[in-house]
Amino acid sequence: MNHLKTWHDLPRRTWDAVLERALHHRKSREWTEGARGKNLGMLFFNPSLRTRTSMELAATQLGAHSTTLVPGQGTWGFAWDDAPMLGEEAEHIEEAVGVLSRYYDALGVRLFASLTDYDADKAEARLEQFIAASSVPVVNMESAFWHPCQEMADAATLADHFGGDLAGKRFVLSWAFHPKALPMAVPNSALMAAARSGMDVVLACPESHLLDEEIVSMAKATGNVSVVHDIDEAIDGADVVYAKAWGGPLAYSDSDHEARIRKELSRWRVTSARMATTRDGIFMHCLPVRRDVVVDSDVLRSSAARHLLQAEYRLHAQKAILEYVWGLL
Ligand code: CP
């Protein structure tokens, strides 16, 4: 079954085929009937603007039908544990997914990190439980550690901007200040997309906020990846600056300590002055973004900004992803 859990557990040729198809979809902008008769069911356990709308449109533009559900809001609340169901939740996830599998040809699910149980989040315990209950392909629409839909859109944005000539380009994934400790799904995925692209990848973060060490090692084994702990040194000469906030492993092991450290790191922001030190570099962010906290509004309004193109590529990438999961590529 063609699940999309993460890209790195799939063959490289699948990544290449979906990427090429995403670029094709942006160029052609055609609506097809290739997935006519297919039905996509989506469950959003967490909020979304881009993923929800672009997935619905992706299905429509392929001739398919989609339904969006927000568990507990118009559906029963779902229980996940193996325990007598005496609480508010009236339906177990196994029945819910089992039933939906009999109606739909693929299921999309958004299940953010708990930010409390590191091992369970890293093992994608909830996503795995969801997949185990499904008899149809499951698309990860952002899980605890990975966001493959964003990852493909980011790769397509980079391929589009540089015309496929990515070798030797300096890609900086920069940690950014944020009032909250955010999950690591997007930075993990952005790091892997950049590593896979052949660019010179710089992971820039305070020493307190390194990503999971095994994931950084996996990125290093995939491409040319280095780590620096100085934002100015990282951005100087960059071709791409991708900003993202995350709490990191410390947010799980000692959230109070992480919050205290983070409060002192507000200078980790992508400013116009920092962008002026790039090699005519572009700015990327997955959105939503906090203006004048993560990045200067001037940068978002400048000709360097590519965050809206990234968001647009969510649609094209997800059309290609649905074609992949339905065996239509
Ligand atoms: N980048 C992203 O996934 O956006 P949403 O959370 O709005 O879906």
Ligand 1 centroid–CA 85 distance in Å is 32
What is the predicted pLDDT for the residue at 164?
78
- Tell me which residues have their CB closer than 6 angstroms to ligand 1: 48-51, 142, 150, 286-287
Reported as a single tens digit per residue, the pLDDT across 151-166 is: 999 999 999 999 978 9
- Report which protein residue has its CA nearest ligand 1's atom 3: 51
pLDDT at 165: 87
Task: Calculate how far, in angstroms, residue 86's C-alpha sits from the geometric centre of ligand 1.
Answer: 33
Give the HSE-up count for residue 20: Cα atoms under 13 Å, Cβ half-sphere. Answer: 7
Q: Whose CA is nearest to atom 6 of ligand 1?
A: 48
Pairing of strands 138-140, 106-110: parallel
CB 145 within 8 A of CB 185: yes
| Ligand 1: nearest atom to the Cα of 110 | 8
Q: For residues 108 and 160, what is the distance between their CA atoms, to the nearest angstrom?
A: 26
Residue 55 alpha carbon to ligand 1 centre in Å: 11
CA 84–ligand 1 middle distance (angstroms): 34
| Residue ranges of the chain whose pLDDT lies below 70 | none
Distance 4 CA to ligand 1 centre (A): 17
As given in the structure block, the two tokens for residue 262 are 């983070």
Pairing of the two strands 200-204 and 138-140: unpaired
Mutate to test the pocket of ligand 1, among 42, 314, 315, 318 (most ligand atoms within 8 A of CB): 314
Q: What does the pLDDT look like over 180-214, one tens digit per residue?
A: 999 999 999 999 999 999 999 999 999 999 999 99
Q: What is the distance between the terminal CA atoms of the chain, rounded to a whole angstrom?
A: 14
Ligand 1 atom 4 nearest Cα: 50
Tell me the angle at which helices 213-222 and 185-197 cross, rounded to the nearest 10 degrees.
20
Tell me how far the alpha carbon of residue 3 lies from the centroid of ligand 1, in angstroms. Answer: 20
Q: Choose one of 50, 140, 306 to mutate for the ligand 1 pocket test, by most ligand atoms within 8 angstroms of C-beta.
A: 50
CA–centroid distance, residue 134 to ligand 1 (Å): 24
Instruction: Answer for the pair 84, 150: CB distance below 8 angstroms, yes or no.
Output: no
Pocket test for ligand 1, best of 286, 294, 318 (most atoms within 8 A of CB): 286
pTM given for the model: 0.98
Query: Which atom of ligand 1 is closest in space to residue 49's alpha carbon?
Result: 7
**How many angstroms is it from 204 CA to the middle of ligand 1?**
23
Residue 264, Cβ density class (10 Å: 0-12 exposed, 13-18 middle, ≥19 buried):
exposed
